[in-house]
Structure 1
């Protein structure tokens, strides 16, 4: 007999005998009817756990991480409103069930069983994954096991406060709402959780409105690793800026009391609170997990004797709300009903094809108010003396700054955030004066934590803002890449586009910086971004292109709800000259605010047919230098600027190169994992032209005179071009 069956038999036997666990008497936190309603939610959660295991054994279900032992979360749902956005721990079925009871028209048993069965009719993920979630219940789907949803919960809480001051067009969350995030005691130790909790406290002590309720479900173990007794209370009980509450999570009434107090505190004071609930984990981690293989049997049995459903039976009986006999009847009726419904759910259709699975990677478009661009008066007030310089050639950094200004004037829902983007104006001056032009609500100096920066952006997007977070250097993204891969990009996929978090993430990066080295400032790898499904990656090579592409990126985020990464080549920020000192050939005048460069278009420079050089970013700059030198040797080349790294503008590239004798790909990223790999495959599969590549070496970048030694150079491009043409003559 497995542990789930033992817990079930124990419940039946102990209820009948009246041999219930000892505990505190019920408080007045719940009326009799409220307590009965929550007990029904607890029983349904338990029944779904048991049924999920039976479905898996029969080959009809595909998920067995259950909520048994955590049924007290039903009382947390009771303490909140159904329009309070909730980012749930994966053991919170009871929360979702209880919340469904607060919203008319829900069929929660059917919905959750469709999810267990991976049916394409599952209303949240469409059969893509077993997740808790519901648009009607304001529960975005979560797949995280390491509390990586806490940063965006913090961001959502911030967005609730910000929307009171600057209401966005597509606001989703109520003015007086709060954001809730729940997680386990083991996940509380993860850097992601610690960063989000720290950021919440950091904001709170500065009187920033942050209505966030953090709920730690402390069952004392993470898979097989036990949490030291008292650890959560000791480490979370006195965090600056965060009010601590505690309850016995096995006691429905005590949990309801503490949850109501914590929620009232957050809603009234607009400050974060930490609700610590002590619980037990029943059955082990998941279906295949046998807790007695790594825990003493006596400890496992002691936890089972503390079954929260047994506590609820005792409490309801003591409160005069429900007799033991009636409680047992509810339990058995619920089990039977879930079994009947499951027999129907397993017959519903499932996803069959790749196109079925991928249908929700790209979020749906949304209707947006028409804009006519910023007015002349608004531009004059914002730009001041800069307006008079717009007909003079400028370097890339300044043109990006002006583009940001125009975009923020046109779209009041744009919020810029990041380290040093405000008063300092960014490390390279790209966000200079934005703080003065738009204020601290729209240009936010964040703490030094990339996970919190991206979490803030994701959370703001949940409430209708268009976040434009900045990561100071490309390599800094590696500290937080899961916020893109595991949170932002997966949200529409696992919610069938019902939840989205559009943004334009600006990253200063790539190589060729003479004053920096190592792997944190000079970083020439985009590989970690390129393999994220649905992500758009832009990489301009000139100032005018940067301004026009940034406008398209904002349109893609605002109207098509896309997650976009805008990679800005740091080495090109100040670039003025192309061929010789003082020629000013790499500067541009500022393109009019209505000019854009759309996705899937490339830039073509020259009309030579001997050779097409395909590149981007710094590689494009070097290729233009090589182009002139090749022309002097009688080789007429054209240079193609990719502009868009993902999705690769395949049709445009093939069209731009089709009448050339050969194609040379110049990739400033590393040979392994760089863009050249995919481009080589594209041209090899689609054309008969000879094709070669010149890439950076698989190396980190050195400081000092050797900063460019491992990357393509103008000389290297010239040599590679000649070698390619000579080989195929």
Structure 2
């Protein structure tokens, strides 16, 4: 017999015989009716786990990581409000089941079995994954990435206080809500989790409201690796600015009391707390896991003898809330009901093709309030002395700052966050004066942790804000890329578009900085961003385009709920001149509010038919320099500035190539894994034009005089163009 069957038989026999494990007597504020409700939720949790394994054995189920042993989480749910947003550990079925009992109209057993079966009728993921989650229950779906949901829980908690002061249009949480985030003892060691704890403490230490309850479910083991005895208590019981609570999850009366105390502390003090709840793990990690391969039989059987359902049945009997035979009846009736539902569930439809799977990659559009912009008097007051230069040519850095000012004036739900963006005004002055113009709660100086910066943004987007986080350098993004790949981008996909986290992530990047920083401040790799399904990647080459595209990016986030990355080429921030010192030809005037460049609209410069140069960012700047020389040599050039790097505007590119004799792709990313690979494929598949590419070398970027040695240059573009056209050296 497998371990699930053994635990099942043990429960039936021991309850019938009144053979219960020793434990605390029932005491505290938990009433009889609610205590019985918690037991019913626990029985349903257990029945679902057992049925998931039967479904898998029959080829009708696809997920067997269960919640057995963690049934005490039902008491946690009972002590919180259904409007308290909950980011759940994947072993928290009992929490979701218990919360569903408090919200009218729920069919939780049916819904969860649909999820096990990966039916397209699954109300949370539409059959894409077995996830806990529910819009009605205020539970955003989570996949099994270890601890990656903790940073966004901080953002969601922070947003509650800000929403009270500055209500966004699409606010989802009440002003007195708290956020609960649960995870396992093994996950507590993950760098993502440790960063989140630190960020919560850092925030609370400064008396910034953060109503967040961390819940660590300590079952003492992570798959097969044991957590050292006492480790969680030792490392979390005395952390500054993080109040520690603990309880025994096998005792639902104690758990309910302690959680109520912790929730009251978080709700009234608006400070974070850490709840350490003891649990056990039954059946091993998942269906395919064989715990006897790494645990001794005596140890495993001792754990099974401590079954939480046995403790619940004992306590309910002692409290005269539910007799042993009644408890058995509830357990058996629940199991029979789950089997009946499962027999129907496995007949329900599943996803059949790629279009169905991908239908939720792009979130649904939403109707937003019309933004007509601030009145001229208000705008003049906020811009101050900058009003006098609005119509004068400026470098990109100044134009972006003006665009951000206008956007924040027009849309009060925009909040910026990042390291040094406030009082200092950013590394390059891009966010200069925004802190004084809009206040510290809309221009947030964060701690130095990219995971926390992006997590703050994701969480705030859950509560109706349109965050604009800044990552100082593209190379720093790699410290936190899973926050976009594993959290932000997957949310609409795994919730069938019910949950979204729209935002515009600003990143300073690419190369060509002279003598500064080397690889960590010059990074020409975009592969990780272009590889994330559903993400929009925009990259301007000049100030005017930057302003117009940034407005479109914000519209895409506000109205279409999209995840957008706006990549700003650092070397072009201060660029003024194009051909000669002092010519000022790379500066532009700030475009009038209301104008924008639509997503997918490429820039076409020149009408030459000999050669089309397809490029972007620094490549566009260098190609303009090269085209002037080529023109003197009789080569008529057309420059196609991509602007939008993912998804590639393929139709617009092909249309812009019309009438040209050849195509040169100039790509400042690396030859391997760079953008040029996709562009070469596009030109090859959809045109008959001769084409070639000029890319950066497969190398990191050095500091010093060789800062641009591995990347395209004006002269190398000229040489590549002549070679393609058969004009030799």
TM-score, structure 2 normalization: 0.99
1:582 corresponds to which residue?
A: 582
1:523 corresponds to which residue?
A: 523
| CA distance, structure 2, for counterparts of residue 529 and residue 391 of structure 1 | 34
1:718 corresponds to which residue?
A: 718
2:177 corresponds to which residue?
A: 177
1:553 corresponds to which residue?
A: 553
Q: Is the 8 A contact 2:474 2:510 kept in 1?
A: yes
Identify unmatched segments of 5+ residues in structure 1: none
Please identify, of 35-44 and 23-32, the stretch whose mean Cα deviation from structure 2 is larger: 23-32
Q: Is the 8 A contact 1:29 1:254 kept in 2?
A: no
Measured against aligned partners, the alpha-carbon deviations of 1:311-349 in whole angstroms (never above 9, x if no partner) come to 001110111111111101110110011001000000000
Is 1:454 aligned to 2:454, yes or no?
Answer: yes
| CA distance, structure 1, for counterparts of residue 201 and residue 66 of structure 2 | 31
Quote the offset at 1:197 in angstroms. 1.0
Quote the offset at 1:515 in angstroms. 2.3
Measured against aligned partners, the alpha-carbon deviations of 1:379-437 in whole angstroms (never above 9, x if no partner) come to 11111111001121100000000000000000000001000000000000000000000
Measured against aligned partners, the alpha-carbon deviations of 1:353-401 in whole angstroms (never above 9, x if no partner) come to 1000000000000010111112111111111111001121100000000
Quote the offset at 1:144 in angstroms. 3.0
Quote the offset at 1:120 in angstroms. 0.2
| CA distance, structure 2, for counterparts of residue 187 and residue 28 of structure 1 | 31
Q: Is the 8 A contact 1:394 1:587 kept in 2?
A: yes
Is 1:240 aligned to 2:243, yes or no?
Answer: no
Quote the offset at 1:295 in angstroms. 1.3
Measured against aligned partners, the alpha-carbon deviations of 1:610-650 in whole angstroms (never above 9, x if no partner) come to 00000001011001100001001100101110000011011
Quote the offset at 1:75 in angstroms. 0.4
Q: Is the 8 A contact 1:420 1:446 kept in 2?
A: yes
Q: How does 1:362-373 map to 2 (within 5 A)?
A: 362-373=362-373
Q: Is the 8 A contact 1:361 1:533 kept in 2?
A: yes
Q: How does 1:297-696 map to 2 (within 5 A)?
A: 297-696=297-696
Q: Is the 8 A contact 1:145 1:187 kept in 2?
A: no
Q: SS where residue 277 of structure 1 aligns? A: strand
Q: Is the 8 A contact 1:247 1:255 kept in 2?
A: yes
Quote the offset at 1:727 in angstroms. 7.8
Q: SS where residue 436 of structure 1 aligns? A: helix
| CA distance, structure 2, for counterparts of residue 298 and residue 145 of structure 1 | 32
| CA distance, structure 2, for counterparts of residue 199 and residue 29 of structure 1 | 33
Q: How does 1:146-157 map to 2 (within 5 A)?
A: 146-157=146-157
Quote the offset at 1:18 in angstroms. 1.3
Q: Is the 8 A contact 1:417 1:443 kept in 2?
A: yes
| CA distance, structure 2, for counterparts of residue 622 and residue 222 of structure 1 | 53
Q: SS where residue 313 of structure 1 aligns? A: helix
2:110 corresponds to which residue?
A: 110
| CA distance, structure 1, for counterparts of residue 589 and residue 446 of structure 2 | 32
Quote the offset at 1:517 in angstroms. 4.0
Identify unmatched segments of 5+ residues in structure 2: none
| CA distance, structure 1, for counterparts of residue 426 and residue 144 of structure 2 | 32
Quote the offset at 1:541 in angstroms. 0.3
2:50 corresponds to which residue?
A: 50
Quote the offset at 1:595 in angstroms. 1.1
| CA distance, structure 2, for counterparts of residue 222 and residue 708 of structure 1 | 47
| CA distance, structure 2, for counterparts of residue 518 and residue 229 of structure 1 | 45
Measured against aligned partners, the alpha-carbon deviations of 1:652-681 in whole angstroms (never above 9, x if no partner) come to 111111110000000000011111000000
2:121 corresponds to which residue?
A: 121
1:219 corresponds to which residue?
A: 219
Q: SS where residue 379 of structure 1 aligns? A: helix
Measured against aligned partners, the alpha-carbon deviations of 1:485-540 in whole angstroms (never above 9, x if no partner) come to 00000000000110000000000000001122433111000100001000000000
Q: Is the 8 A contact 1:144 1:486 kept in 2?
A: no
Please identify, of 21-30 and 285-294, the stretch whose mean Cα deviation from structure 2 is larger: 21-30
RMSD over aligned CA atoms reads: 1.0
2:85 corresponds to which residue?
A: 85
Q: SS where residue 506 of structure 1 aligns? A: strand
Q: SS where residue 719 of structure 1 aligns? A: helix
Measured against aligned partners, the alpha-carbon deviations of 1:525-567 in whole angstroms (never above 9, x if no partner) come to 0100001000000000000000000000000000000000000
| CA distance, structure 2, for counterparts of residue 482 and residue 616 of structure 1 | 26
Tell me how many residue pairs correspond in the alignment. Answer: 729
Q: Is the 8 A contact 2:88 2:181 kept in 1?
A: yes
1:141 corresponds to which residue?
A: 141
| CA distance, structure 1, for counterparts of residue 173 and residue 28 of structure 2 | 31
| CA distance, structure 2, for counterparts of residue 126 and residue 282 of structure 1 | 29
| CA distance, structure 2, for counterparts of residue 583 and residue 609 of structure 1 | 27
| CA distance, structure 1, for counterparts of residue 456 and residue 566 of structure 2 | 18
Q: Is the 8 A contact 1:517 1:707 kept in 2?
A: no
